[in-house]
């Protein structure tokens, strides 16, 4: 029988590191590096169902900011929060396609998490940004989620709802874009024997982007995992679902995958998933894409204050544009180092490629983007609650459709305080 979950406040990493390891999918999306966020709502819900205490620090910098007492605790309610200020001096930022402008940006962020008993968690964040250049809008962005986890018989059951409203600059579109998204997830996990588990999950999402194609997606995932040894886990999984578009062709996909995680030594870890995705589009003529998909990650920590990561990925997806699909591949290198006891350095370099396929023209290649990103950040924490970070980010997107090519440099100051 699974252990009963314990009460825990889910800590929110404050917005004080503007450049962390930049994933290829991220490069293909936002030009301005987003505020680092918390764990996904479904991951939080899974922790609630198993009693995992994700409040434990997950990095050396977060460890330096660990706070003993929450902002508010009464009965079964525990609330913790973060305040932060961000200043960006950016070059060649884009308000609309082909219109690059230098601008300074100031952002004020408030984020918090309310734990309700042992089974529920509510998280939120609000960001108000002010652009010095009048060609940009001064947006108010929101993120909110509700997560819950229970033990039902022999199953760990988790569920989550999420909402977001963002106004960032999207490389795919080449303009500042208002996006709104809603999501829901449900998962179940059960132990079968001492070494085998089965995992089931379902996801629904609905997203809108001003002036572009909106979409809904539904997906179901099933997997069986086997613990080969204390250091090696392997599994096989199947994902399938549909994507419904407000205009243009709908699609459905089928994706079998193999998974493995291996920790050969205390300093080294490796995780991998690889498979093949078969995607069918509701159009006449050639209407089927078949491509390998994978996620690979290697971590190495020679000593406690130092870590290195390498990751690679390939994925299929929908485009914001009418009758377009995307294939994205990328490679990321990251490093984290603590020195002099209280300073934390993070650096990363990512390179990615995104192909845009014309669904209504026989799946021909319509556009190709090559994206590169470099980032470095130096941070420190003081008084166990306050933090300061200075960072530099360079992002370059080279497209065979000239109006989507762009290069930007950003210098960022972050101040954070854990309430």
pLDDT tens-digit series, residues 364-378: 999 999 999 999 999
Domain containing residue 364: 24-149+167-181+247-418
Residues in CB range of 21: below 8 A, 6 or more apart: 309, 311, 332, 334, 346, 348, 350
Q: Give the mean model confidence (pLDDT) for residues 53-64.
A: 52
Evaluate if pTM is beyond 0.85.
no
Q: Looking at the DSSP assignment, which residues form a beta bridge with residue 290?
A: 278
**Best CA proximity match to 329, nearest among 367, 374, 295, 373:** 295
**Best CA proximity match to 397, nearest among 366, 357, 368, 376:** 368
In a domain, 157, yes or no: no
On the question of pLDDT at 32 being above 80, the answer is no
Mean pLDDT rounded to a whole number for the chain = 86
pLDDT tens-digit series, residues 151-208: 999 999 999 999 999 998 888 888 899 999 999 999 999 999 999 999 999 999 999 9
In a domain, 242, yes or no: no
In a domain, 49, yes or no: yes
On the question of pLDDT at 86 being above 90, the answer is yes
What is the rounded CA–CA span in Å between residue 124 and residue 143? Answer: 5
On the question of pLDDT at 70 being above 90, the answer is no
Read off the CATH number of the domain in which 391 is found.
Answer: 2.40.160
In a domain, 231, yes or no: no
Q: What percent of the chain has pLDDT over 70?
A: 84
H-run or E-run covering 405: none
Q: What pLDDT score does 48 carry?
A: 67
In a domain, 193, yes or no: no
What is the rounded CA–CA span in Å between residue 330 and residue 351? Answer: 6
Number of domains in the chain: 1
In a domain, 383, yes or no: yes
Q: Do residues 209 and 179 make contact, with C-beta atoms less than 8 angstroms apart?
A: yes
In a domain, 192, yes or no: no
């Amino acid at each position: 029988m699974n252990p009963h979950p314990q009460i825990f406040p889910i800590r929110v990493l404050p917005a004080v590191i503007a450049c962390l390891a930049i994933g290829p999918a991220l490069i293909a999306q936002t030009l301005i590096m987003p505020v680092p966020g918390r764990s996904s709502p479904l991951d939080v819900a899974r922790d609630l169902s198993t009693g995992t205490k994700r409040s434990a620090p997950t990095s050396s910098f977060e460890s330096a900011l660990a706070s003993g007492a929450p902002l508010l605790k009464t009965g079964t309610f525990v609330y913790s929060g973060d305040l932060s200020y961000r200043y960006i001096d950016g070059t060649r930022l884009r308000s609309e396609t082909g219109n690059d402008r230098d601008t300074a940006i100031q952002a004020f962020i408030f984020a918090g998490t309310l734990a309700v008993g042992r089974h529920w968690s509510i998280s939120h964040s609000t960001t108000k940004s002010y652009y010095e250049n009048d060609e940009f809008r001064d947006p108010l962005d929101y993120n909110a989620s509700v997560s819950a986890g229970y033990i039902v018989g022999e199953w760990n059951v988790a569920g989550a709802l999420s909402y977001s409203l963002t106004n960032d600059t999207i490389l795919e579109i080449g303009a500042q874009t208002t996006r709104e998204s809603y999501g829901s997830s449900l998962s179940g996990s059960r132990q079968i024997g001492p070494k085998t588990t089965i995992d089931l999950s379902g996801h629904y999402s609905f997203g809108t982007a001003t002036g572009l194609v909106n979409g809904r997606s539904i997906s179901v995932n099933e997997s069986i995992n086997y613990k080969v040894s204390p250091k090696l886990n392997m599994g096989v999984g199947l994902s399938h679902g549909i994507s419904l578009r407000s205009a243009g062709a709908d699609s459905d996909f089928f994706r079998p995958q193999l998974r493995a995680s291996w920790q050969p030594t205390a300093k080294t870890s490796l995780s991998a998933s690889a498979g093949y995705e078969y995607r069918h589009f509701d159009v006449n003529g050639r209407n089927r894409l078949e491509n390998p998909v994978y996620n690979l990650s290697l971590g190495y920590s020679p000593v406690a204050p130092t870590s290195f990561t390498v990751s690679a990925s390939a994925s299929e997806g929908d485009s914001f544009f009418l009758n377009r699909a995307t294939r994205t591949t990328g490679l990321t290198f990251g490093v984290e180092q603590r020195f002099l006891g209280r300073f934390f350095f993070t650096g990363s370099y990512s390179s990615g490629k995104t192909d845009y396929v014309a669904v209504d023209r026989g799946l021909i290649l319509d556009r190709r983007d090559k994206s590169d990103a470099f980032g470095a950040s130096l941070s420190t924490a003081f008084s166990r609650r306050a933090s300061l970070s200075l960072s530099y980010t360079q992002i370059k997107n080279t497209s065979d459709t000239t109006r989507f090519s762009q290069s930007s440099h950003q210098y960022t100051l972050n101040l954070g305080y854990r309430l």
